[in-house]
């Protein structure tokens, strides 16, 4: 994957978004970081690195103790505080949850806002490349983060991983994407953000790992 190509695709999408909607607040404005990291993708039989590198999405599993969205798989993020813009909120929350600082992240652009249908959050996702060295010094905040997941982009982009999940909300039937990948299910608002990201990824990612070495 070429980060510069993704940056251009995100910029083109932003240019097509009405200006008045860019920072429009829902009931509870929130922001997340959609972290991408390049890392070794496999190991040789003897335990050595094959030299092939892959791009991964970093996600977190929220602790069960959290009152809202406890136990769910999500991107690092949270509420936008008064006087704070969405990017500052996404970076602040990422540092609080994973000890990944703003200096560790190169922001590529933003995705369309996504709303949660029960908790009424309006989430602004920011896509950023995280420095590879961060993997060794990430420190999940134990009160909020039960674990960190690395999901290969080419795997979650495989159409076989995606399905449509049905929700009943009052009288309405709602369809939303879900991804079964790496032994976990990504669903809800996080899956909708993933879907928006995959729509903007260069075509080689959708062709599998051999194409993104």
Angle, helices 188-200 vs 3-15, to 10°: value is 110
Banded pLDDT at 206 (limits 50, 70, 90) = low
Higher pLDDT, 12 or 190: 190
In which band, very low, low, confident or very high, does the pLDDT at 173 lie, cut at 50, 70 and 90? low
| pTM summary value | 0.83
Q: 67-98 pLDDT, tens per residue? A: 465 568 999 999 999 999 999 999 999 999 99
Query: How confident is the model over 90-108, as a mean pLDDT?
Result: 96
- Model pLDDT for residues 4-55, shown as the tens digit of each residue: 889 988 887 665 554 434 444 457 899 999 999 998 764 434 444 455 779 9
Instruction: Identify the pLDDT of residue 125.
Output: 96
pLDDT of residue 203: 64
Q: Where are the beta strands (DSSP E) in the chain?
A: 28-40, 53-62, 73-74, 77-79, 105-110, 114-115, 121-130, 145-152, 162-169, 172-181, 184-186
More confident residue, 158 or 205: 158
Structural domains in the chain plus CATH codes:
3-157 (3.90.79.10)
Work out the pLDDT band at 211, boundaries 50, 70, 90: very low
pLDDT tens-digit map of 112-162:
999 877 667 889 999 999 998 888 889 998 888 989 999 999 999 999 999
Whole-number pLDDT of residue 67: 46
Q: Indicate left, alpha or beta for 69 from its phi (over 0: left) and psi (-120 to 50: alpha).
A: left
């Amino acid at each position: 994957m070429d980060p510069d190509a993704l940056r251009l695709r995100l910029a083109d999408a932003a240019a097509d978004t009405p200006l008045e909607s860019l920072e429009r607040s829902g009931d509870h404005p929130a922001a997340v970081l959609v972290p991408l990291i390049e890392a070794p993708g496999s190991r040789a039989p003897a335990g050595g690195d094959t030299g092939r590198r892959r791009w991964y999405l970093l996600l977190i599993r929220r602790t069960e103790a959290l009152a809202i969205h406890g136990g769910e798989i999500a991107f690092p993020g949270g509420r936008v505080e008064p006087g704070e813009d969405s990017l500052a909120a996404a970076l602040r929350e990422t540092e609080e949850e994973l000890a990944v600082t703003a200096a560790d992240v190169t922001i590529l652009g933003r995705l369309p806002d996504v709303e949660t249908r029960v908790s009424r959050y309006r989430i602004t996702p920011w896509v950023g490349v995280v420095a590879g060295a961060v993997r060794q010094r990430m420190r999940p905040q134990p009160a909020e983060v039960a674990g960190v997941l690395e999901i290969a982009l080419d795997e979650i982009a495989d159409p076989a991983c995606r399905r449509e999940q049905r929700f009943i909300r009052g009288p309405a039937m709602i369809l939303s994407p879900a991804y079964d990948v790496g032994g976990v299910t990504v669903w809800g608002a996080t899956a909708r953000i993933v879907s928006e990201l995959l729509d903007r990824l260069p075509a080689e990612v959708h062709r599998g790992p051999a194409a993104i070495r």
